Amino acid sequence: MPDAIDPINAVSQTAGTGSPIIHALFGGTFDPIHYGHLLPVQALAQLVGLNKVILLPNHVPPHRPQPEATAQQRLEMVHLAIQDNPLFTVDTRELTRQTPSYTIETLKSFRQELGEQRPLAFIIGQDSLQTIHTWYKWEELLDNCHLLVCSRPGYKSQLSTPEMQQWLEKHQVDTPFPLSQKPCGHIYLAATPLLNISATDIRQRHHQGLSCDDLLPPSIQNYIDSQGLYKQ
Ligand code: ATP
């Protein structure tokens, strides 16, 4: 597998625009990675003007059951999914940490490398925004990054309590422009394509011997078959 490039120090301005680049991270269990991860984030990158997105496979996800594929298998699937796509790179700091993959810790470690001034964003799906108040030290997230939220079918943009809705409205921006003007603190709800795909559904379809052809890249399907994954 090729080593991940170092996007943090590679470029500091978006070519042509003069705006500071936004360093964007996208964390997930990726068990397996699928088009519901890749396509909305590609659309988001276009909307916001991201020229690099760093995928962060987690080792021990704190909010959910443990993955079926091993950390190494999930990482290999991520590498295969992005091998011909220069938008994406991978960072393994969460995978190599033996403690739960708390996003706040990851953000702080990126923040330390980037310094206080450079814009840093964390990408999530709408379902994750709905439960963000359950994340460890969630109130500190926006002190370290912006949140970029991809649409996901079946999840509203309205949050579940008046307090959370107030928090969202306080930080929400309607256009991507302010994201490059501040290091952190904004939430941008992006109108990305709606893809009704989840890794849970893909694992279940494999258990049932059903095809997943339109749900994930062929290279991932071949890897799943060759490793005998999700058979139970
Ligand atoms: P699982 O079904 O195993 O819970 P998942 O498909 O939701 O997995 P994760 O790896 O848990 O995938 O998700 C990583 C991130 O990708 C999360 O922020 C999640 O909200 C987002 N995401 C996953 N699938 C989609 C989708 N179809 N559309 C938009 N965002 C998605």
Q: Which of 94, 85, 75, 3 is nearest to 39 (CA)?
A: 85
Tell how far the Cα of 199 is from the centroid of ligand 1, in angstroms.
7
pLDDT at position 18? 60
Please check the confidence at residue 2 and state whether its pLDDT lies above 90.
no
User: H-helix or E-strand containing 43?
Assistant: helix 35-48
pLDDT at position 15? 44
Cβ(36) – ligand 1 distance below 6 Å: yes
pLDDT at position 61? 62
- Structure-block tokens of residue 40: 């909305």
User: H-helix or E-strand containing 219?
Assistant: helix 218-227
**pTM score, whole prediction:** 0.92
Q: Which of 194, 66, 183, 78 is nearest to 126 (CA)?
A: 194
Distance, in Å, from the CA atom of 149 to the CA atom of 147, rounded to the nearest integer, reads: 6
Cβ(91) – ligand 1 distance below 6 Å: no
pLDDT at position 159? 95
User: H-helix or E-strand containing 10?
Assistant: helix 7-10
- Cβ-contact 124, 132 below 8 angstroms: yes
- The predicted-structure confidence for 61-80, as pLDDT tens digits, reads as follows 666 677 899 999 999 999 99
Segment among 10-14, 84-88, 195-199 with least mean pLDDT: 10-14
Segment among 1-15, 24-38, 174-188, 201-215 with least mean pLDDT: 1-15
Cβ(185) – ligand 1 distance below 6 Å: no
- Mean pLDDT (the chain, rounded): 91
pLDDT at position 169? 98
